[in-house]
Amino acid sequence: MGHGIPVDFFREFADDRVPVGDVTLRVRHGGSGPPVLLLHGHPRTAATWHRVAPLLVAAGYTVICPDLRGYGASSVPPTTHDHAPYSKRAMAADLVGLLDHLGLRRAAVVGHDRGSYVVFRTAMDAPERVSRLAVLDGVPIGEALARCDARFAAEWWHWFFLARPEIPERVILADPDAWYRGSAGQMGPEAHAEFRRAVHDPATVGAMLEDYWAGLGVDRAHDDADRDAGRRIGCPTLVLWSSRDDMERLYGDPRAVWRAWADDVSGGPVDSGHHMAEEAPRELAARLCEFLRE
């Protein structure tokens, strides 16, 4: 297998459909030991973790990889005028429901890209369920928007384009492969095939756009309310970012942003492009294991 990791695609992982509230999540899980939830970003599915998950299992962890609501093979709930069904608060509640279903009181939570917003919201809304928090390639949505300048608008223009009515769906669905540009070489053939099935589904594309609508509205409101109330993350927090992406250009040291939100922040860059679980799985797994066993 690519990247020097000799393991079949999610071999010995259960692949379940788990009802949680108003959605059913596709969930892969395996291993034994302390539980770790891995959350993907846009426009990936849980398959993005297929090179990292077996390394964490080998290190002695139970690894749980759900597709977020509206993504991959998880269900697509109807939206509302405020897009709250796709808020990170709703997605965080899904994670709590998933832990309940699996009989787990607490877990470490790891999120990349859009998944980082979900694990952050979980740690804010349900701190008693989160033992450790790892955020990869992200700062809180409220922080990103408060700091938005011409550089951010130029580099992250998609945040604003995707949260427009009708036009993004028409553009994306005209040629999903050209828009999303995933490759089997980087992702692995099985993960790439799963990704393509998702991005060719109009309902999934619409749901992923709802995620961005929620980000600019209700998610920002939740972050701003927490900041105004002085709420903070009390558990150990790991901040990792891709050294060949744009986090440092936008924020300098992202750990400094997170120290305004969390009491115990560590981390640093990973030698990778944006999709670090696919591009640097061994380094990422090693960094996560070091953090999880501290």
Catalytic residue numbers read 113, 274
**Under 8 Å between Cβ of 254 and 285:** no
Question: At how many degrees (to 10) do helices 114-125 and 88-102 cross?
Answer: 70
d(C-alpha 164, C-alpha 212), whole Å: 9
Is the bond preceding residue 189 a cis peptide, omega within 30 degrees?
no
d(C-alpha 237, C-alpha 291), whole Å: 9
Closest C-alpha among 136, 130, 87 to residue 112: 136
Q: Radius of gyration (Cα) for the chain, nearest Å?
A: 18
Closest C-alpha among 274, 287, 250 to residue 148: 250
Q: Which residue has the tokens 């600019």?
A: 216
Handedness of CA 207, 285, 155, 232 (dihedral sign): positive
